[in-house]
Amino acid sequence: MTGMPKETIRYMLKKRFPELDLAVESVFNLGELGLQRYSATFKFTPNALPHANSILDKLASVAFLTYRSGTLLEPTHVALFAVPVLVEEEFQSFLRGLVDDGVLREVELKRLEWAWNPELKCEYYNFDSGRWNVDWKEVGSHHEAPPSPVVVDQPRLKPGIDRSDILLIKELEASSVRNLAEISEKLKMNAVTLRWHYRKHVLPVISHHRVRWIPARGGDKSKVVGVSFGFSQLTKSELVKARLIFNNFPFTWYEAGSRDGSYRADLAIPVAETVTSLEFLNGRLGEMSLPPWKSHLLDLPTSMHYTVPYENFTEEGEWVFNPETALNSILSLAKA
């Protein structure tokens, strides 16, 4: 596609992009994997708060957590889950159990029916210096490009993949630029067999690829501030207005919503652009006369992405969830 040598492309993806705080990621169609997205905000109880990181990591291995971040100025966490459609009721009951048993409080859970990753706004990013250079007057004068169409996920009751496929997906989510030979060695799987699984089952469930700016590695707080906006009960026309704002905003990296009018947009804003960015959004949102929204300042150095919940996928190609076992494992950490 580029006419550039493969070696040059590999160097740029594996060496140059990380130096610029950029990462290439494969995004999978969770619906095809039989998974339903959920967004959650919650607070830990005072007794459980000292064990929050351990509890969150455990939620990733036993209860489908795929992303979490702390917030600034308030003891709140925001999170994303990918829940097998066949155990949604058990999962919701499990979260209520965490409240009843004194681990969490003030849990707000929303079912997300679609999600999208707006593209990196290359026109505002200096690839020589690895820095953002945004002219806000120019941004405000641009004709806003329409956002990508919303495609509502329809999760499958039974995913058309097996255990080998889910392990391969897990490895590609961890690092999309590794070659299949490296992955076959790690998984101790025949390279020819793994390549067959990739072409036959994994490649068809890749929704898209994205380049994302990830400047908070190693807990570095000096480069970025995160913000999460949440809207409820938007009309169709209001949703279009909100998506126009956030899809054309230079630092939006994730958006998701539901047919009931819920909408979420997550931002990663360079520290130097924080004040002007929030002033720009405040003006734009005010002009649109949208209903009240909630916003959280994300402590991005505390955030964590987890891979697809492969621990809950059996050799028979089925998702499993044992709420009682999961709850007990969390309670043992909360009471440690």
pLDDT tens sequence across 126-155: 998 888 999 888 786 666 777 888 888 789
Q: Where are the alpha helices (DSSP H) in 20-159?
A: 52-62, 88-100, 136-141
Contacts by residues 136-145 (CB-CB < 8 Å, ≥ 24 positions apart): 136/276, 136/280, 139/248, 139/250, 139/280, 140/280, 142/248, 144/244, 144/245, 144/247, 144/248, 145/247, 145/248
| Helix, strand or coil, per DSSP, at residue 321 | coil
Q: What DSSP assignment string belongs to 289-306?
A: TPPP-EEEEEEEEEEEE-
Q: What does the pLDDT look like over 269-308, one tens digit per residue?
A: 999 999 999 999 999 898 888 899 999 999 988 899 999 9
Query: Could you tell me which residues come within 8 angstroms of residue 256 by beta carbon, excluding any fewer than 6 positions away?
Result: 37, 39, 112, 114, 115, 116, 263, 264
Average pLDDT over residues 25-35: 94
Phi, psi (deg, nearest 5) at residue 139: -60, -45
Per DSSP, helices labelled H in 198-293 are 236-248, 274-288
3-class SS of residue 223 = coil
pLDDT of residue 143: 67
CATH class name, domain 132-152+213-301: alpha beta
Distance separating alpha carbons of residues 324 and 94, to the nearest angstrom: 8
Give the pLDDT confidence score for residue 330 in this predicted structure.
96
pLDDT at 168 over 90: yes
Mean pLDDT of 88-117: 94
Give domain limits for the chain: 132-152+213-301
C-alpha to C-alpha distance for 331 and 336, rounded to whole angstroms:
8
Q: What digits encode the pLDDT tens for the residues 258-271?
A: 999 999 999 999 99
User: Is it the case that residue 219 has pLDDT exceeding 70?
Assistant: no
Q: What's the confidence (pLDDT) of residue 335? A: 82
Closest by CA position to 70, among listed 91, 55, 82, 83: 55
